[in-house]
Structure 1
Amino acid sequence: MVTVEVDPVRVESRLSGGAIACPSCVGGVLGGWGFARSRQVEGLDHPVRPRRARCRSCLVTHVLLPVTVLLRRAHGAEQIWMALSTRAEGVGHRRIAAWLQVPPATVRGWLRRAGQRLEPMRAWFLTVAVRTGIDVTIPDGFGCGWRDLVAALRCAVAAIGQRFGPAGLLGAVTPAQVMAAASGSRLLAPGWPPLARGV
């Protein structure tokens, strides 16, 4: 599974030009290989039909997910980001669910999964910020894991904006997009982030 931009024309152009590296092998590039099944994602205007790609070297296939969705989630990355950032303000899952018009059990699941890995996620996004930005200022801790996570993600967004310009290479860079791209769309997936195993 590979995270790509939303614009299918750009994705096709990069696939045909051999500009998407294979995450399974060294030196391999991906080429088009059909499509995954179409699915409706809550919070997005149109159904998502992810592109499939196959490595030209190792022949492993991958699904290319746009940065607007997370792996195995029926709601868009923007809704999940709003839930996490609102939780950092001290709001409970029922109020967040009512505000987003999402079932409370769904929001509770997002928050439980994120709550189990707040520090590794914060460290991951700070690492993205430091590796991407120039003279990145690490935010002070707030004494609240949720607020620290949101601050780290915003730091990564600022670093990416600093490196590639305020509009980014492909348009405005949002926290939800950085959250999806920096995690490879695996933000709430089991076993992510990788450094969680070492903590």
Structure 2
Amino acid sequence: MLTVGANAAKVESQLSSGELACPDCGDALGPWGWARVRVLRGGSVPVVVRPRRARCVGCGVSHVLLPVFALVRRADLAEVIGAALAAKAAGAGARAIAVGLGRPVETVRGWLRRFAGRAEDVRVAFTVLLVDTGVDPVPPAPAATPFADAVAAVVGAAVAAASRWPDVGEVSPWRLACAVSRGRLLAPSWP
């Protein structure tokens, strides 16, 4: 699995010209078919994606090129899940969040439980990113809960990245979180 940009034409161009590197060995990736079609729930209109597959010319391993707005094994856009995480950090409960987002309560509870189970690891990873990338980094002040600390670290890392690279400021903190975690923010295998 490799997280790539949201512009499919640009990703295709990068793939054809050998600009994308294998996350395992660093060799160039080449086109190798398509993954199954996925429908991601977003705001008012579902987003249909068919992720590209690529194969490494060096080690021969294939990878799905997941757009930066999608998380592995999740049917909702990163911004939707991020909104739920931010609402929880602000003190909202799973039922209220689910109603506000129009999602099943069990789905929202699953997101919140998975994130809560790794909140300290997420906080550490994104605080390190914040300090390493920020022009004049200011780590977030301690929040009321470890969950809120982790959400603050994600948002703080996005602000720090935008201070160094202005184009990153056009990307939501949750897309940045997808890119940093390689789409695995809520997957069992990260961090």
TM-score range, shorter chain: over 0.9
The aligned amino acid for 1:177 is R
| Partner residue in 2 for 1:19 | 19
Q: Deviations over 1:49-81 (max 9, x none)?
A: 001001111110000000111000111111100
Return the alpha-carbon distance in structure 2 between the equivalents of residues 63 and 119 of structure 1. 28
Q: Deviations over 1:107-151 (max 9, x none)?
A: 001101111111111111112222322231111212311221121
Return the alpha-carbon distance in structure 2 between the equivalents of residues 73 and 142 of structure 1. 27
Unaligned residue ranges in structure 2 (runs of 5+): none
TM-score by length of 2: 0.94
Return the alpha-carbon distance in structure 2 between the equivalents of residues 184 and 41 of structure 1. 17
Task: Tell me the number of residue pairs that the alignment of Structure 1 and Structure 2 aligns.
Answer: 189
| 8 Å CA contact 2:41, 2:47 repeated in 1 | no
TM-score by length of 1: 0.90
| 8 Å CA contact 1:128, 1:182 repeated in 2 | no
Return the alpha-carbon distance in structure 2 between the equivalents of residues 113 and 89 of structure 1. 17
User: What is the identity percentage for the equivalent residue pairs of Structure 1 and Structure 2?
Assistant: 48
The aligned amino acid for 2:35 is A
| Partner residue in 1 for 2:103 | 102
Q: Deviations over 1:10-48 (max 9, x none)?
A: 1012112221111111x3111111110111111164311
| Partner residue in 2 for 1:70 | 71
Taking only aligned residues, the RMSD between alpha carbons, in angstroms, comes to 1.3
Question: Displacement, 1:186?
Answer: 0.3
| Partner residue in 2 for 1:138 | 139
